[in-house]
Structure 1
Amino acid sequence: MSTPLNAQAKQVLDLMAASGQPTMDQMSPTDARIAFTTGLKMLQSKPEPVAESRDLRLPGPAGEITARYYRPHGSVPEELLPLCLYFHGGGFVIGDLEGYDPMCRQLANRAGCAVLSVDYRLAPEAPFPAAVDDCFAATQWAAAKSAELKIDANRIAVAGDSAGANLATVVCLLARDAEAPKIAYQVLIYPVTDMAGETESARRNAEGYFLTGDLMRYFLGHYLSDPSHATDWRASPLRAPKLKRLPPASVLVCGFDPLHDDGVRYAEALKRAGVPVTFTELPDQIHGLFSLDGAIPAAGEALAALALELKAGLQ
């Protein structure tokens, strides 16, 4: 890369390398989840106050889905707000509500919307398409319960990072094909959009930048119980038969990220399909940036900019 790695991102990577701890792809999924959540607490900002935060139980295709509902600081209980459903990252194997609590609070406050963070089922216990099914069910539930949640059913967005961004893209496709619920906007943060082929950025950034080639193979090996699922558009939305009539999108990619090209290719495909896209590239940053905002100040700035795009998209 012609752009040098961000200094704070390099410090985080050096800290990880110096820890002497095994990488997550060398752990069981259970241990990897503990290590991930523990590591985030050291590297992310402190949770900021919101008007409301409460856990909910939603009906799902295989039992209840836990979710956390936020209303932004300064809002009042009866105020009808737009809603953003947030699907966390973690390669479909790790990640939870606690690890993404600070980010969801920031998103709610900066976008001025309610946020519903969805704790979808994880692989390998629940492989593809369990996460897809849970996220779409949560989106349908939120739209149906708009009066109870005090949200505007005509102003619903979906957002996610990495695996969560993949799920957000697929929810948009499913909602379009079902003609409900109406999705007004999508925010895709370093999304994975094609699991069936290797990109140049995946080769270039396979080592040394947190999300490694080995870790990607670990995640996909757990998520896709059958390798043929990699070409299913619900796993690889870039391979969907058509991308027309999807909601406007914000797409963000990082230069030192194996998934850089996934985001670029999906943004370009959306544009070709006539979908309005606001594209952001952070050439000096790494995958997982937004979960490391306590150590990398640029993460907070980038999230604030995305939140403004989301706010405008939900007007």
Structure 2
Amino acid sequence: MNRLRRTVLGLFAAPRLNMREDYPKVRRMQRRVAALRGRRHRAPEEQSLPGDGGRPIPVRVFRPREQRRDEVLLFFHGGGWVTGDIASYTPACATMADLTGCVVAAVDYRLAPEHPYPAGLEDCYRVTRQLLEGPRRAGIEDADRIVLVGDSAGGNLAAAVSLMLRERGHRGVDRQILLYPVTHWDHDPATSPFASVRRHGEGYRLTTTEVQDYFDLYVPDPDRRRDRFVAPLLATDLSGQPETLVITAELDLLCDEGEAYARALREAGNAVRVHRVEGALHGFIALPRFSRSLREAYAVIDTFLGEAPAAVGNPGLGAPG
């Protein structure tokens, strides 16, 4: 990449923060920005499902301007398990509904550090199970049409929920879409097995320091970070997983681990497609609708959702595309 392009892309980098101290400020800023952008969108439907002890788990349902599909996208937002919520992701979810023609149900799972691992994961798991097994919850009538979707930490949660459903002997979803997911625990440039951590871990939208801060807050015990539900790439058995679309961003430090997870799923006998968005930064799913990266990703998602199940696994994984 030439120096000019790096300089221009660097302008889109998030300000460097001490996430372990500044996460409350980031949450407030995200909500203010989303509130300004969200005024252009239709009001979503507010629902809730019971969590542990009867505590409600909020679910926000977004309906497309033109519904073209029966699938319901059950969405887990990103934000390092620490920031982000269904309010700050309202613009992105409204865009997702309109560009896919699907209903989107976004889960407001508990965040760290107030609720460290596995609290947020258990919320996502409970909602998924209830929608798969309970009729007409949160406006979802056909459990066979549920597709798990998550970006970044949300992609990690979607992958972990699918693993958890199989391991606990419950019905799973047929498809999942993982957008630049976190699949490994080690993002130290000195020890990470992934070149993208060293190549893109500074100067762009997400840095290695921020990811490590997120892990410190989400999983305070370093020994638990190797748990398969924290680092799905370390799972010893990846069989029986949903048909999967993995979308990565070229200039994202998570690029290599996302594609490694796609390969591991494929090697375990699952149907997988992977697509790398060239020139894209981490978090591009939240960009405005005219963004090239966003439009390219949704074109791939549209194809994935429109294909017959037997055709999804045909493309090879030797080169993303």
Partner residue of 1:180?
A: 170
- Counterpart of 2:101 (choices 112, 117, 122) is 112
Q: What root-mean-square deviation, in Å, do the aligned CA atoms of Structure 1 and Structure 2 show?
A: 2.9
Give me the whole-angstrom Cα distance separating, in 2, the residues matched to 1:291 and 1:218.
Answer: 22
5+ residue gaps, structure 2? 311-321
Letter in 2 for 1:14: L
Give me the whole-angstrom Cα distance separating, in 2, the residues matched to 1:5 and 1:220.
Answer: 31
TM-score, normalisation: structure 1:
0.86
Partner residue of 2:285?
A: 290
TM-score, normalisation: structure 2:
0.84
Q: Percent identity?
A: 32
- Counterpart of 1:25 (choices 19, 26, 31) is 19
Letter in 2 for 1:145: G
Give me the whole-angstrom Cα distance separating, in 1, the residues matched to 2:73 and 2:246.
Answer: 15
Number of residues paired by the alignment?
Answer: 303
User: Residue 103 of structure 1 contacts residue 290 of structure 1 at CA under 8 Å; is this kept in 2?
Assistant: yes
Partner residue of 2:313?
A: none
5+ residue gaps, structure 1? none
- Counterpart of 1:214 (choices 201, 205, 209) is 209
Partner residue of 2:314?
A: none
**1:141 and 2:133 are equivalent in the alignment:** no
Instruction: After TM superposition, give the deviation of residue 26 of structure 1 in Å.
Output: 6.9
Give me the whole-angstrom Cα distance separating, in 1, the residues matched to 2:72 and 2:240.
Answer: 20
Could you say if the C-alpha distance between residues 203 and 13 of structure 1 is closer, same or farther in structure 2, counting changes exceeding 3 Å?
Answer: same
Instruction: After TM superposition, give the deviation of residue 95 of structure 1 in Å.
Output: 0.3
Could you say if the C-alpha distance between residues 313 and 12 of structure 1 is closer, same or farther in structure 2, counting changes exceeding 3 Å?
Answer: farther
Tell me which protein shows more strand as a share of its residues: 1
Q: Which has the higher contact order (CA 8 A, sep 6+)?
A: 1
Instruction: After TM superposition, give the deviation of residue 48 of structure 1 in Å.
Output: 4.5
1:87-136: CA deviations, max 9, x gaps? 00000000011221122223223333322100100000000111110000
SS at match of 1:218: helix
SS at match of 1:108: helix
Q: 1:131-280 residue pairs with structure 2 within 5 A? A: 131-148=120-137, 149-196=139-186, 198=192, 199-280=194-275
Give me the whole-angstrom Cα distance separating, in 2, the residues matched to 1:5 and 1:98.
Answer: 37
Could you say if the C-alpha distance between residues 260 and 15 of structure 1 is closer, same or farther in structure 2, counting changes exceeding 3 Å?
Answer: closer
Partner residue of 2:319?
A: none
Partner residue of 2:316?
A: none
Letter in 2 for 1:158: L
Instruction: After TM superposition, give the deviation of residue 247 of structure 1 in Å.
Output: 0.7
- Counterpart of 1:54 (choices 29, 38, 45) is 45
